Every structure is written in C-alpha cells, then in structure tokens.
Amino acid sequence: MKINQNYRNLRESYLFSEIARKVAAFAAKHPEREILKMGIGDVTLPLAPAVVAAMEEAAREQGDKETFRGYGPEQGYPFLREAIRDYYKTFGVFLDADEIFVSDGAKSDLGNILDVFDADNTVLIPDPVYPVYVDTNLMAGRKIVFAAANEQNGFLPMPDERVGADIIYICSPNNPTGAAYSVEQLRAWVEYANERGAVILYDAAYESFVSEEGLARSIYEVEGARECAVEFCSFSKTAGFTGTRCGYTVVPFALVREGASLHKMWLRRQTTKFNGVGYIVQRGAAAALSAEGRAQIGRNVSVYRANARKICEALDGTGIGYTGGKNSPYIWLKCPKDLDSFAFFDHLLERTGVVGTPGGGFGKNGEGYFRLTAFADGETVEKACKKLRELFGQSIERGRRCI
C-alpha cells in the first residue's frame, strides 16, 4: 500500500483552521475580552424569507407519498438550472440550461473539476490566492507557476506571453484582495487561453458584489470564453447558503480539448462520483433567484456592501493603504510599518480583539497584507471600525504611527 506522497507538500494545517486555533487559544486565555470576528468569510444574515418558505414547502412535499422525491438528477433539477440560466440573462449572458451543473458549492467543484485533467498539466495561479486552488493541485502533483498580483498591477495580473500554462485560475472579484477584472481585461485572458489551448477555471463566487459598470459579472461576457472557460459560482455569499450548501458550475458545450467534450467528461464524472444536491435545498436556491427572492437577498448584499464601506471609511485618512471594498466583501490592507502579516494578526487580536486573515496565508505576495471581511454583523463591524480608528488614526494624528 502506498499513500499519495503529494500530501507531504501541503502546509501542515489549512489557513482558516490555523486562525480558528489561534482565536480559541486567545479566548481561553482572555475570557473577559470581546472578540470581533472579521476573518473567515462566513455570512451572518439569515436566509431570505422566500427561501425559507420554499424549503418549508419542499420539506412538506417530502413528507407526502404523492410528492416525495428520492434520487434527483446528478446535474440538478431542471427548475433550478433554468432559474440560473434566466439569472444570467439579467446581465446579458445566454446559456443553455444543460450547460449548468448544480453542486454543493463552488469550493467542491473547483477541486473536483481537476478529475477531467491529466496530472501532467502546468497550472497558472495568481498569488495571493484562495488556498484551495493551490492545495488541490499539490494533492494531484501538478506543476504550479504563479502570476504575481501586487500593488503595481492593482492585484490584477495580466497574461505574460513568456509563461506557458494549461490550466488558468481566475477569481473575480478576487479573494483575498477584492480586486475585480473588467470585461476588457478578461478579454486578454480569453485570447491567451484560446491561443494556447488552455482552460480557464473562473471563480465568480462574488459576482453579485460588482457595482461598477464595465467590470465583469461572468467570463462569458467575453466573446470566445465558451471555447476556453469553465465558470464556478455559489449561493453561499449571495443568498447566505454557507450552512445550506448549493452552488453551480457552467461547462459550455463548445469547450473541447484533444477532441473530447469537457461537458460530457464532467457529466460523466458527476454521474459517477456525485449524487446531487438535495431537493429541499434546490427549491430554496430556485426561490433565491425568483423576483421576490432576488429583492430580499439584494437587501442582504446591500448590508454587506455598507459594512465594507464602513471599514474603508475607518481606514481612510489613517495612512493605511488598501484595495477592495467597493466591488467586493473583502478589504485588503497593507500591514503598518511592513509588519509580517501573522505578527500583525497577533498584534491586532491582542490590542483590539479584531480577527482578520494574515495575507501570508494566501501566498508569498500576500505577505505584508491583511484581509478583513464585511460579512460580520453590523454591530461587530461598528465596534471593529471604532477599534481600528483608535489603533491607527489617533496615533497618526499625534504625528506617529500606532505600531
């Protein structure tokens, strides 16, 4: 028996597990201190009333012999796939419902999609980056090259003709930096991928936070993307499904490599390894995309946007540089005095009780930066912003930095 030796190349612990351990240790040592969690990107607002009502009705259906449903289609019920298709139409993207595959979340599919690719592929991943992109490819033993995202390029790296890659990860709006690509910028990536026969894995989990005209909601807004891109999205951050679990992946019919349809390959993979998302959850997801549901979840997204704005306002004028916030639930700030991001995590926790995410956990280029999330509840954000102003602003007004 032999184990997968590639697991030895992984960090000892997953970033967010490490943060949870540190926070638990601090809480045990200081039970009297209030901890303001603005690190892990979990939502805090409840499911929309329309979603709850649909799930309650679906649960009743499951309790009636006449309406009970057992195994559903692995790729998702038609009613949800058609609702997702119609949602895309609202921002000018036209898909076939059969190109949409319902899943239990974007994170799962971002790892599972690698089943259809050979291990002998070079993967291009931006740095800093959501750790799942890197770890799932390390597990498979693929060669990884990194595209540097930094202040000079606005944390939005563009194609480098000198770099060859077979699989390309793009996340926009980006986790962790909050930066978002325009449609024109994505056009360059689509051309790059099509010229090389590469495949783009496009993570659109935060598309609903895009507010500026010209920024992309979907890579399929770019002509030619259907021939080179798979898109992943989720109901987690938009509709509060982090505890309910539902997402979807779009694999266009036109995406063909080495004479093989990736759509057919993914369908075969899903029907072999996945039993589908529960009927009750899918009814809730469909309700989230109804006119009533979209209005309700839109109000929730507005709350998170307001939280992001408050965090940005707390940082404005303090001399602390940051990106994100306007088109993203994440604010990516520069650690004062070029502090190590994990040292800053400890310092911030000790001085203020505010929990964020060290940028170093997202890659080499994340070192010296720090991520805050707008998904915390409003009261937590208000308290955290007050703490941040006290920590940064007051000392700067006195003519020196607080750290």
- Average pLDDT across each block of 10 residues of the chain; the chain has 403 residues. List them in order: 94 81 94 92 94 98 98 97 98 98 96 97 97 95 97 97 97 97 98 98 97 97 98 96 97 98 98 97 98 97 96 90 96 92 95 96 96 95 94 55 37
Residue 395 confidence (pLDDT): 47
pLDDT given for residue 318 in this prediction: 86
Contact 361, 128 (CB under 8 A): no
The pLDDT score that the predictor gives to residue 319 is 83
In whole angstroms, what separates CA 295 from the centre of its chain?
Answer: 22
Furthest-apart CA atoms within the chain: distance in Å: 74
Token code pair at residue 346: 């400890």
> Is 95 buried (19+), middle (13-18) or exposed (0-12) by CB count in 10 A?
buried
Q: Where are the domains of the chain?
A: 5-47+293-391, 49-290
Which of 3.90.226.10, 3.40.50.700, 3.40.640.10, 3.30.450.40 is the CATH number of 49-290? Answer: 3.40.640.10
Residue 122 exposed, middle or buried by CB count within 10 Å (0-12, 13-18, 19+): middle
DSSP 5-24: GGGGGS-SS-HHHHHHHHHH
How many beta carbons lie within 10 A of that of residue 243, not counting itself?
A: 10
CATH superfamily of 5-47+293-391: Aspartate Aminotransferase, domain 1 (3.90.1150.10)
